[in-house]
Amino acid sequence: MFETLRRYVPVLDWGRRYNREALQSDMMAAVIVTIMLIPQSLAYAMLAGLPPEAGLYASILPIILYAIFGTSRALAVGPVAVVSLMTAAAVGQVAEQGTAGYAVAALTLAAMSGAILLGMGLLRLGFLANFLSHPVIAGFITASGLLIAASQIKHVLGISASGHTLPEMLGSIWTNLGEVNPITLVIGVTATGFLFWVRKGLKPLLLRRGMRPRLADVVQKAGPVLAVVVTTLAVWGLGLSDRGVSIVGAVPQSLPPLTLPSLDFGLLTALFVPALLISVIGFVESISVAQTLAAKKRQRIDPNQELIGLGAANLGAGFTGGYPVTGGFARSVVNFDAGAETPAAGAYTAVGLAIAAMALTPLIYFLPTATLAATIIVAVLSLVDFSILKTAWTYSKADFAAVTATILLTLVFGVETGVSAGVILSILLHLYKTSKPHVAEVGLVPGTQHFRNIHRHKVETDPAVLTIRIDESLYFPNARFLEDYVLDRVGTGGPIRHVVLMCSAVNVIDFSALEALEALNHRLRDMGITLHLSEVKGPVTDRLKKTHFLDDLSGQVFLSQYDAWVALTAGPPPMKSAE
Amino acid sequence: MFETLRRYVPVLDWGRRYNREALQSDMMAAVIVTIMLIPQSLAYAMLAGLPPEAGLYASILPIILYAIFGTSRALAVGPVAVVSLMTAAAVGQVAEQGTAGYAVAALTLAAMSGAILLGMGLLRLGFLANFLSHPVIAGFITASGLLIAASQIKHVLGISASGHTLPEMLGSIWTNLGEVNPITLVIGVTATGFLFWVRKGLKPLLLRRGMRPRLADVVQKAGPVLAVVVTTLAVWGLGLSDRGVSIVGAVPQSLPPLTLPSLDFGLLTALFVPALLISVIGFVESISVAQTLAAKKRQRIDPNQELIGLGAANLGAGFTGGYPVTGGFARSVVNFDAGAETPAAGAYTAVGLAIAAMALTPLIYFLPTATLAATIIVAVLSLVDFSILKTAWTYSKADFAAVTATILLTLVFGVETGVSAGVILSILLHLYKTSKPHVAEVGLVPGTQHFRNIHRHKVETDPAVLTIRIDESLYFPNARFLEDYVLDRVGTGGPIRHVVLMCSAVNVIDFSALEALEALNHRLRDMGITLHLSEVKGPVTDRLKKTHFLDDLSGQVFLSQYDAWVALTAGPPPMKSAE
């Protein structure tokens, strides 16, 4: 009983062993992460089209709930760039930005996503995330990075623009280019340049000056905070907000409010597919980060329990004025590097952010949105990596097609279309390949009992025995292929008296393929040729035994291909001793 | 040049070798088929919701075009039951039965289907038909047979009813049950009973009376013609049409008219998916029949050229007042049994039907629709075969699920939904299975060089060497599975120093799986364990060589698992001579 509870509520496990050392490490990590998260939460809320406080709210209760239900020691849950962009795209279709309906739709999306994740976790459907192949994820992340950066250009220029796809965004920016605010532009470009320099040049400089690497890291992570402080002071001191510089403005000073997701059927229907995609993509992002960090400390992550942890976090976001959240890469790595020992570090971060939400919001009144945009642009451009195109091209044209389609469709038609098309294309390409399987004619490697492709290796063959190794499971898309192949091969006449199908790579024979094998057996028998099988695997044999096929088979089933060779050729071939 | 032409126009090949014997055989077959086709064409047109002449028109030009472009010697192309039902369902959604728009939509559907088939043939997409697995086809045919029979009950009862799904049809019949016409009921039930008896009891009776089997066959096939003649005479002689018996009525006496398919964009869009499904299902039905008959004479069918032949036939139907056609089972078997030698038999049948369309239509004025309905019911109930449920259940639960879903969804939601759901379900079940592949720990079968599952066979193992045979290609749905499995297996500690992945069943390693293998290699190396591969296939090796993986691999790649065993264990095991 308690075991089951402990499986679903991991805090009961690590919480009992919590001690002072862990407390100190966790507190230290929490301080660093809190400082980093304040500007990031505001910025991502803006990216999602929500007021800045939504970003803070989405980082408080969700973190605590994940600390209770999640399995990763270092994962930091909250708003992330890609999910914020997807939220903007989904909610933008059902409500006008800036309205109360928009905020309600966003938190409803979070609650739906939470329910979906929780359901997947309880049904143990974590494996579904595997259908997002590596090329599709890589392509999607790169394209999303570009989309997100493009969506922030308007804030750097101080103009208004709209759109959820690259052509829409660029077109809208082009149209409104006349309205550029020069002061905003200066702030935005300077902040962007500064943050790029912080990311690339600051740490080496500090190290050269003799700073300890750990401290240099912390200083580098505080870069965005410095940009926020300096630009806020500049706008306040020089009265720039009166000269058209867009600022964050009044943010309510409060703890996260209690909110209720909408139960409007039309809204729920419209948001279902986006909620599903956000859930799956958020889960994939989160689990990748969690597994990477866990591997470094030889810990294991339970994907199905992660679904439950993320589900609880998103439900929490839905009931406290937030929007969809997941485990973020940057924040989790910072948390890990800062020495977080347990999920309690997340809980302390939540306390820090709650204090910020209550006490610090007046201080960001004059914070220019251009600075937040600069934070986002610098963060997401590190996600953009076209090298996947080259590696995929070298390795496999099918994987290359999946990456390219995902990138292009994401940019041109938006995130949902892009990632869905990528997944569907990956599956179709796989089915296409398996429908035309690789088939090799094999012979005996001299001096061994091993059989290989006659075209690749120097092997012994017997003109009366045709041995075909089928390099694919036999199932409906390729059921007729084998029949056609064998009949074409023997149809040329010649001395073939035995056909052996070497089934070492056949993992399944489905009902359609069984029909095809039966047909092949009859046709070959009509031609005076016997059909044999060799190296049929246990699970496949078990299933064939339930049918009449093995009784009707004109030939035999051999345990190994070598047994078949010995039985069907005149005698054993000359055999060297094994080494 | 001429070779290419001959490939696409097979008549140029067999036409040059045409002689008097072939002509006689073909003429004889044509006469028999024509007699059988007249009532069948009228009946199927009624099933499709079209006037009776449409069935004749659909059997004339299409047959001739197939004779020119098709590859089967015996296939008889024309209206068939399943496609007629699908036509009724598709056209019923865009036009009212009995209107001119309905007929135009039907011939437009034929033309679209022709264009799709032709396109698939030129792009050599014949393999796509393989995605209709055997269980899906079997379930679909059975459910369609029931649906078609149900759709004809109203004609037997002499009531009006509507609907394209079983619940709709039965509900509609129930509602209108008060209107039953007793005379129609007598004609319908008698004709149905008579035709069932002809099918089951007539031939044995004739044989017992000493009739030659060939002739008994012909008499049996003429059964429907007898029913048509007798009931027509009865209606005419007794004046039953004045007492509420529904009759065929006036049918224009003419050759097929020249018609033009509609180019209305809305109509084309609405009909696209039905046209695609009709094309694929028609093709599958046709190719199955053609291959069965070709096998009996050791001939071969070219699936891609068949697509072209059927495409031409359907285009022909679209331009001559017909509706979608395909190669039918019953008529093709009759054609084959009657001795047809070449596709020319089809052309002579077309001439026979053209004469019927011009001269015989006044004779069927008093033909009761109940007789046509009886013809259809008896023909389609032979398609209904629930034994597939039992065999599929025994063999594989996944195949059983596909059959059951196809049958139920076809009956309840109609043919399009049923067959689409069956195909999608088959694919999803396959993907699910491959995402959790079978993995076996293997050891050496004593006295051989062969390795098998340690749980199924008595084999030798070495505690320092863990050998895992992966029974599936490694690709994105299962990429993480292997990593998790191996780490779980070695994570228990113990003396394992080498992990060997036996790749005899790995037909593909895709990009996602390559990433997972790289991760596995690094993790195992961190634990002091070397990772080896064995029996990697040629195409897989070729691809791995393009990457750094083989350079980074901590262990080796062995040609055979036995080589790995010899190299990694202390020395070769005691070895008996090979028999």
8 Å CB contact of B449 and A450: yes
Instruction: Please list the residues that pair with A534 across neighbouring strands.
Output: A502, A558
Can you list the pairs that B231-234 forms with residues at least 24 positions away whose Cβ atoms lie under 8 Å? B231/B187, B231/B191, B231/B367, B231/B368, B231/B370, B231/B371, B232/B363, B232/B364, B232/B366, B232/B367, B232/B368, B232/B371, B233/B366, B234/B187
8 Å CB contact of B507 and A445: no
Which of B448, B503, B508 best tests the A interface by mutation, with the highest count of A CBs <10 A?
B508
As a whole-number percent, the residues of chain B with pLDDT over 90 amount to 27
Q: What is the pLDDT of residue A2?
A: 66
For B16-61, how does the pLDDT look when each residue is reduced to its tens digit (9 = 90+)?
778 888 888 888 888 888 888 888 888 899 899 999 889 999 999 9
Task: Report the candidate in B381, B363, B81, B35 with the shortest Cα–Cα distance to residue B226.
Answer: B35
- Which whole number is the average pLDDT over B213-219? 79
CA distance A262 to B541: 55
Answer whether residue B579 shows pLDDT above 70.
no
* Three-state DSSP state, B190: helix
For B505-559, how does the pLDDT look when each residue is reduced to its tens digit (9 = 90+)?
888 898 888 988 998 898 888 888 899 999 898 888 988 998 889 999 999 999 8
Of A449, A479, A481, Cβ closest to residue B448? A449
For B106-164, how does the pLDDT look when each residue is reduced to its tens digit (9 = 90+)?
999 999 999 999 999 999 888 887 888 888 888 888 898 898 899 889 999 989 888 88
Answer whether residue A573 shows pLDDT above 60.
no
Higher-pLDDT residue of A181, B127: A181
Answer whether residue A571 shows pLDDT above 80.
no
Q: What is the pLDDT of residue A574?
A: 43
Residues of A in contact with B480 (CB under 8 A): 130
8 Å CB contact of B539 and A471: yes
Answer whether residue B575 shows pLDDT above 50.
no
Compute the mean pLDDT over every residue in chain B, rounded to the nearest whole number: 86
- Which whole number is the average pLDDT over B266-272? 91
CA distance B199 to B193: 10
Residue of B nearest to A426 (CA): B476
Residue B360, exposed/middle/buried by CB under 10 A (0-12, 13-18, 19+)?
middle
Residues of B in contact with A487 (CB under 8 A): 300
8 Å CB contact of A396 and B511: yes
Q: What is the pLDDT of residue A577?
A: 39
8 Å CB contact of A577 and B575: yes
Say what the pTM is: 0.78
Look up residue B442 and give its two tokens. 């293997």
Q: What is the pLDDT of residue A379?
A: 82
* Three-state DSSP state, B571: coil
Which of A395, A427, A445, A509 best tests the B interface by mutation, with the highest count of B CBs <10 A?
A395
Of A300, A392, A435, Cβ closest to residue B130? A435
Structure confidence at residue A409 as a pLDDT band (50, 70, 90): very high
Q: At what angle do helices A387-395 and B511-526 cross, to 10 degrees?
A: 100
Of A130, A391, A477, Cβ closest to residue B131? A477
For A361-402, how does the pLDDT look when each residue is reduced to its tens digit (9 = 90+)?
888 889 898 998 898 888 888 878 888 898 888 888 888 999
Compute the mean pLDDT over every residue in chain A, rounded to the nearest whole number: 86
Which of A137, A387, A430 best tests the B interface by mutation, with the highest count of B CBs <10 A?
A430
Instruction: Please list the residues that pair with A492 across neighbouring strands.
Output: none
Please state, in angstroms and as integers, the Cα–Cα distance from residue B288 to each residue in A107, A449, B236, B284, following that order. 55, 41, 42, 6
Residues of A in contact with B445 (CB under 8 A): 559-560
Q: How many A×B Cβ pairs under 8 Å?
A: 192
Answer whether residue B496 shows pLDDT above 60.
yes
Residues of B in contact with A491 (CB under 8 A): 300
Please state, in angstroms and as integers, the Cα–Cα distance from residue A168 to each residue in A163, A412, A433, following that order. 5, 9, 36
Q: What stretch of H or E contains B360?
A: none
Structure confidence at residue B572 as a pLDDT band (50, 70, 90): very low
Answer whether residue A579 shows pLDDT above 70.
no
Q: What is the pLDDT of residue B110?
A: 96
Backbone angles phi, psi at A27, to 5 degrees: -65, -45
CB neighbourhood size of B343 (10 A): 27
The answer to whether A479 and A513 have CB atoms below 8 angstroms apart is yes
Of B396, B505, B578, Cβ closest to residue A507? B505
Which of B292, B473, B483 best tests the A interface by mutation, with the highest count of A CBs <10 A?
B473
CA distance B491 to B503: 22
CA distance B82 to B151: 12
Geometric angle at alpha carbon A348, from A345 and A351, rounded to 5°: 155
Backbone angles phi, psi at B278, to 5 degrees: -60, -40
CB neighbourhood size of B559 (10 A): 15
- Which whole number is the average pLDDT over B370-384? 86
8 Å CB contact of A440 and B546: no
Of A134, A538, A578, Cβ closest to residue B453? A538
- Which whole number is the average pLDDT over A352-365? 86
8 Å CB contact of A562 and B506: no
Structure confidence at residue B272 as a pLDDT band (50, 70, 90): very high
- N-to-C CA span, chain A: 58
Structure confidence at residue A570 as a pLDDT band (50, 70, 90): low
Q: What is the pLDDT of residue A344?
A: 85
8 Å CB contact of B472 and A578: no
Task: Report the candidate in B223, B200, B292 with the shortest Cα–Cα distance to residue B40.
Answer: B223
The sign one gets for the Cα dihedral A556, A562, A563, A565 is positive
For B169-184, how does the pLDDT look when each residue is reduced to its tens digit (9 = 90+)?
999 999 998 889 999 9
For A252-291, how does the pLDDT look when each residue is reduced to its tens digit (9 = 90+)?
888 888 888 988 888 999 999 999 999 998 998 888 888 7
Q: What is the pLDDT of residue B303?
A: 85
Residues of B in contact with A507 (CB under 8 A): 437-438, 471-472, 505
For A84-128, how does the pLDDT look when each residue is reduced to its tens digit (9 = 90+)?
999 998 998 899 888 889 999 999 999 999 999 999 999 988 888
Which of A507, A543, A545 best tests the B interface by mutation, with the highest count of B CBs <10 A?
A507
8 Å CB contact of B392 and A511: yes
Answer whether residue B2 shows pLDDT above 90.
no
8 Å CB contact of A396 and B505: no
Residues of B in contact with A539 (CB under 8 A): 438, 471
The answer to whether B291 and B129 have CB atoms below 8 angstroms apart is no
Please state, in angstroms and as integers, the Cα–Cα distance from residue A299 to each residue in A288, A341, A429, B427, B483, following that order. 14, 12, 35, 35, 14
DSSP state of A509: B
Q: What is the pLDDT of residue A575?
A: 42
8 Å CB contact of B134 and A512: yes
Task: Report the candidate in A513, A528, A526 with the shortest Cα–Cα distance to residue A536.
Answer: A513
Answer whether residue B578 shows pLDDT above 70.
no
Residue of B nearest to A546 (CA): B395
For A371-380, how does the pLDDT look when each residue is reduced to its tens digit (9 = 90+)?
988 988 888 8
Look up residue B206 and give its two tokens. 């004739």
CA distance A83 to A55: 12
As a whole-number percent, the residues of chain A with pLDDT over 70 amount to 97
Residues of B in contact with A130 (CB under 8 A): 435, 476-481
Task: Report the candidate in A178, A189, A198 with the shortest Cα–Cα distance to residue A155.
Answer: A189
Residues of B in contact with A547 (CB under 8 A): 391, 394-395
Structure confidence at residue B1 as a pLDDT band (50, 70, 90): low
Q: What is the pLDDT of residue B433?
A: 83
Q: What is the pLDDT of residue B104?
A: 93
8 Å CB contact of B435 and A132: no
CA distance A48 to A43: 9
Please state, in angstroms and as integers, the Cα–Cα distance from residue B53 to each residue in A231, A307, B59, B366, following that order. 83, 62, 10, 15
Look up residue A397 and give its two tokens. 């044209």
Answer whether residue B567 shows pLDDT above 60.
yes
A249: alpha, beta or left? (left if phi > 0; alpha if psi -120 to 50): left
CA distance A281 to A278: 5
Higher-pLDDT residue of B571, B395: B395
* Three-state DSSP state, A158: coil
DSSP state of B359: I
User: Please, what are the domains in chain A?
Assistant: 2-12+22-400 (no CATH), 439-568 (3.30.750.24)
Which of B287, B432, B510, B548 best tests the A interface by mutation, with the highest count of A CBs <10 A?
B510
Answer whether residue B359 shows pLDDT above 60.
yes
8 Å CB contact of B504 and A504: yes
Of A395, A426, A433, Cβ closest to residue B476? A426
Residue of A nearest to B402 (CA): A511
Q: What stretch of H or E contains A533?
A: strand A530-534
| Least Cα separation, residue B214 to chain A (angstroms) | 25
8 Å CB contact of A508 and B450: no
Answer whether residue A193 shows pLDDT above 90.
yes
| Least Cα separation, residue B449 to chain A (angstroms) | 6
For B330-358, how does the pLDDT look when each residue is reduced to its tens digit (9 = 90+)?
788 878 877 788 888 888 899 988 988 88
